[in-house]
Each structure stands twice: as C-alpha cells, then as structure tokens.
Amino acid sequence: MHGAGHAVCLGPDIDTDVIIAGRFLRTKDHSIWVSHVFEDLDPALAGQLNGAVIVAGKNFGCGSSREQAAIALREAGVVAVVAPGFARIFFRNAINVGLPAIECSLSCIKGANVRFDLAAGWIETGGSQYPIRPLSPRMREILAAGGLVNYWRAHR
Amino acid sequence: MSTLSERILGAAAGEYVDRKIDRAYVHDGTGVLTLETWKQMGAKRLSDIPQFYVLFDHIIPANNSTTATLQHELREFACGSFLHFSDIGGGICHQLMSEGVVLPGEVVVGADSHSCTPGAFGAFSTGVGATDMAGIWLTGETWFRVPDSIGIHLSGSLQGGAEAKDLALSYVSRLGMDGGTYCALEFIGEGVKTLPMDDRLTLCNLSVETGAKTGMFYADDVTTRYLAGAGQKAKAQVPESCIYSRELEFDLADIVPLVAVSPRVDKVKPVQDLVGLSLDQVFIGTCTNGRSSDLARCANIVKGRKVAVRTIVVPASRAVLAEAIRTGVLADLVGAGCTIGTPGCGPCLGAHMGVLGEGEVCLSTANRNFRNRMGVGGEIYLSSVATAATSALTGEITEPEAD
C-alpha cells in the first residue's frame, strides 16, 4: 500500500479532544466531524487536510478512545498520519478505519510532498528516504482491505 | 516467570496473540458507532462467547433530541439482545464493571479509553475503539500485542492530606503523557496492601494518561474480600519474579497533595505552589474519583460549612448514590450547597451538566485537563477529592488538611 500527499505539520501530544471535540460526537453524520476537525486547535487546519499527510510529533491521538477522530481525518481527505509514536487506541482505530498510521521520526516541511510505501517500508520527503516501523501482518491485511469492516466482510 | 499480562494473555511480551474476550462493554457514546459498524460488517447476531454490556453513562439523560434519538436506537437494540443493559442513572461503565463484575485473570475490553480501570482486580482490561469492538461483537475475540510491563514499586503508606489520586498524578508526572505507551503498569510492593480497592481503581484509571494499555494490581486479600462483599468468589494471584522494561519506586509517605495544571495531565505541581488560584467551579466525581469513599471524604470536609463556589458532585453509580443516602453523606453535601448530578460521567467530557464558560477555571477530580475539554476557553486543573473539597470552601486552590 502506497500513497502521497502534502505535509501538514503538527506538534507532539495531539489529543483526540482537539481532533474532534466531545460536543460534536453525538451524530452519525460524518460531515459534521469533517467540518469541525481540529477546530479547538486551529480552525484554519480543516481547509488544508484534503490530500494531506499529517506529520506530527510524538504520542499522536492520545486521550479519549473516540474513533470519530480517525474517521474525521480520513473523511477530511487525510492520506496518512506520520508520527514517531501513536497512542495505542488511536493507532488501532486508524488502521481499523483504513487510515495509514506510520511510525517514523520525520522533520516536517510544510506543504512538501511526502510519499510512502507501507509494504516496502519507506517514507520519502525533502529528497530523503526514511525507514518506517513495519506493521504486523494482520494490520497490513486490515489496511489493505480498506479497514476492519471490509476485512471481516471478506473473511466470514 | 512472567508478568501478570503475560500470564493472562498466555504469551511473552512483544508477541501478537488472538484472545477470546471474557467481558466487553460499550457506553452510549461508543455504542452507537459500534452498532452501526457491526451492522456494516453484515452481522446478524452477537458472538456467543463474551459477556456483553451496554452501559449508558456519557450524556445522560440525553441533552438534546439528536442524542436522544441515537440513544433510543441503541437502547432498543440492547433490550432486544442477550446483553447486559444499564440505562441512564445506573452509573459509569468502569464503575459498574468494578462492582463485583470483573474478576481476576479475565480479559476485558471496553470501548472507552479508561477501560484500564478494572485492571485493579488483576484482570487484563483495556480500551478499544468502536470498530475493534464491532469485530468483538462479531467474533468474540481480538488480537493483542502482549505488552511490556513497567513495575511501580510502592512502599509505606499514605500520610496527611495525600490520597491515591496524588500518587496517580505523581506517576503520570514521572512517566509523562507517553512514557507508558503500549506498556502495562503493574503496581507491586508492600505498600499495595495499604490501598483499598477504591484507591487501586483510581491508580489504574490514570494509567492511560501515560499512554499505557492498562494498569494492574495482583488480586490479594483486599481484592477477594471486596469481591466477596459483592457476592463473588475469587482467588488471589501470586506475583512471580519477572522482567520489567522499567521500574519506578514510590514511598507512599513521601506523596503530597498535587495538582495537574491545564492543559496537561503530566504538568504536575504541589498544591502549595498554586494556593490562591481563583476558581469558578469545582467538580467531584468521574471514574477516577466518584466512588463511595470519595464522596464520604468530600462530605467530611464540607459538612456543616458552605461551599464558596459552584460545586458539582456526581456519584459514579446508583450504588454509590444509594450508599451516600444511607450514610447521610448526601445530606451533608446538599447541606453544604453542593449540586448533585445523575450518576454517570457528568461534565468531564464537556458535553453537558457543567460546561465551562470562556476564561472560567475548574478544579476537577477527573483524569483529563486537555484544552477546551470541558468547554471552549475553560481551564481545568486536576486534584484529589480532599484538595477539591477544601478548595470548594474557599473558592480558590487550597491545601487540604490531614485526615
């Protein structure tokens, strides 16, 4: 699985409350999450996410287990999230909804093109290539299926 | 020779295992998304294996008609299925699972990050997202990476105005917000014996604030007595010598009252350094500190006096509320001017029942003080019950007195 997008740079310890605030959770309308994504961090961010690769600091997605955070990013057009490390529930949620979460320390250049190949295990930006921490075989299968819903539809 | 996680999951740290689940729970928030996703998976009926629970606690009673409609759908499903259902006012999911439900050695998952809480019983209990939970509804199992464990050695006993919450903030501060990521925290050592179940639940509850997968105590006499009181038989677990990826030591006698400063749980300072900080609201409750011993401690402090700032007290469950009525704790709280909320999560997640206004400051006994969590522009400071109750009487951050 491979992809590419423009870099959107974020700091460390981005919690799921700032990805999508608790007051917007009670709906099935995913477009509401897209329109309020990152609102409490920086309202301008929402407009930059389509086709983006988020390059963040450590511990991305910490805090609440709310899966709406991963869904909001995917539906906003985020191609992948790259961070030196993720909070574990967000990490599982991202893979389960088909959003690549890539463990790698990358210096972020705002707007620069970022390319990655999960199977080959690399990510590339600013002319340099970096190795990424491999996913487990099960996680790669789930991601390749487009998420856990499709995975289980195919496996049962 | 293995850690408790390795023993329960049956494999060595770092290995991936597929594990049948003993108990799986969702709340009114994550349950809606779980149900929707489970249907998308083409499922018709629940797996036979785990005990399933739907426990309404997050936005209860419903705050608007959209929420009410979503809750109606989940309630209809829950009542028509062979699962355990607790409607509004029953209490916080983690608390209900801790009132004689989760047993030592079980594998438990909850669709909420604080599902690490019942690890206090010597269970492997952790949080998952809604889609993971939908997969568990479908198959009865899920995969885990067996975690490395961090040993937290406790000695001595808590003194003066210090509480288990202060110890919890101490270890969060020491590890940082990602210092426990993917790990299990094991609380061990002689000091453990001095901690009742309520304290152990508080300590396990905050483990996720370090990124940990779970927090765990080995079941001992305290555990088995508590469970016997709830009508459950359980055996103690004997720790083996094992390898921890990291070890921390705390002498409980050194713990002092602490506050986590907005907006980070690991930005911890002694209460002493913040004395005089003006408050707009005090909130006592949540899966961290809404249990019977917490409400009793609060009542002891405010009894016969008047709070100087709006003070919201939310019992963690109906059983906690009933106990507070029976013991007179509730009358003391109401007499002191506290506002009592429906058993549940209360204003912790910023959706209702005590949302903060722009620029307002709340001292809360909860577990998260993230930016804007309880209301846009509001600031949250976290403390023990004793610090919160003492501060409620003055309207500013105040040091608690020794018991």
Per DSSP, B194 falls in state G
Tell me, which fold does domain B149-254 have in CATH? Answer: Aconitase; Domain 2 (3.40.1060)
Between A15, A17, A152, which is nearest B41 by CB?
A152
CB contact under 8 Å between B113 and A65, yes or no, is yes
Cα–Cα distance for residue pair A40/A43, rounded to 1 Å: 7
Mean pLDDT by 10 residues, chain A (156 residues): 96 96 92 96 96 98 96 98 97 97 96 95 95 90 95 90
* pLDDT band with cut points at 50, 70 and 90 for residue B401: confident
For chain B, say whether A70 makes contact (Cβ under 8 Å): yes
CB contact under 8 Å between A149 and B143, yes or no, is no
Between B59, B112, B368, which is nearest A65 by CB?
B112
pLDDT digits (tens, 9 = 90+) for B294-306: 999 999 999 999 9
* pLDDT band with cut points at 50, 70 and 90 for residue B45: confident
For residue A149, which residues of chain B lie inside 8 Å, CB to CB?
Answer: 37, 40-41, 131, 134
For an interface test with B, give the residue of A27, A37, A59, A64 to mutate (most B CBs within 10 A): A64
The arithmetic mean of pLDDT across residues B352-358, rounded, is: 96
For an interface test with B, give the residue of A38, A89, A156 to mutate (most B CBs within 10 A): A89
The CATH number of the domain where A118 resides is what? 3.20.19.10
Which of B280, B290, B391, B307 minimizes the C-alpha distance to B342?
B290
Cα–Cα distance for residue pair B29/B352, rounded to 1 Å: 13
Q: Is the fold of B19-144 the same as that of B258-394? A: yes
* pLDDT band with cut points at 50, 70 and 90 for residue B403: low
For residue B33, which residues of chain A lie inside 8 Å, CB to CB?
Answer: 67-68
pTM confidence score: 0.96
Helix locations, B206-291, DSSP H? 221-229, 286-289
For chain A, say whether B278 makes contact (Cβ under 8 Å): no
Instruction: Report whether CATH 1.20.1050.10 matches the domain B19-144.
Output: no
- Does ipTM come in above 0.90? yes
pLDDT digits (tens, 9 = 90+) for B269-319: 999 999 999 999 999 999 999 999 999 999 999 999 999 999 999 999 999
pLDDT digits (tens, 9 = 90+) for B211-264: 999 999 999 999 999 999 999 999 999 999 999 999 999 999 999 999 999 999
Q: How far is CA B387 from the centre of its chain?
A: 18
Q: Which amino acid is at B362?
A: C
Cα–Cα distance for residue pair B291/A34, rounded to 1 Å: 37
Between A15, A67, A85, which is nearest B130 by CB?
A67
CB contact under 8 Å between A26 and B351, yes or no, is yes
Cα–Cα distance for residue pair B269/B275, rounded to 1 Å: 11
Chain B nearest-CA residue for A41: B371
Structural contact between residues B166 and B385, judged by C-beta atoms closer than 8 angstroms: no
Domain regions of chain B by residue span: 19-144, 149-254, 258-394
For residue A92, which residues of chain B lie inside 8 Å, CB to CB?
Answer: 128-129, 132
pLDDT digits (tens, 9 = 90+) for B182-220: 999 999 999 999 999 999 999 999 999 999 999 999 999
- The arrangement of secondary structure in B258-394, i.e. its CATH architecture, is 2-Layer Sandwich (3.30)
Structural contact between residues A77 and A102, judged by C-beta atoms closer than 8 angstroms: no
Q: Which amino acid is at B1?
A: M
- Give me the numbers of helices (H) and strands (E) for chain A, helices first please: 6, 7
Chain B nearest-CA residue for A67: B129
For residue A15, which residues of chain B lie inside 8 Å, CB to CB?
Answer: 370
The tally of domains found in chain A comes to: 1
| Whole-number pLDDT of residue B30 | 97
| Whole-number pLDDT of residue A3 | 96
For an interface test with B, give the residue of A88, A150, A151 to mutate (most B CBs within 10 A): A88
Secondary structure of residue A40 in the 3-state scheme: coil
Q: Name, in order, each residue with C-beta under 8 angstroms of A128's C-beta and a sequence gap of 6 or more.
A: none
Cα–Cα distance for residue pair B354/B139, rounded to 1 Å: 39
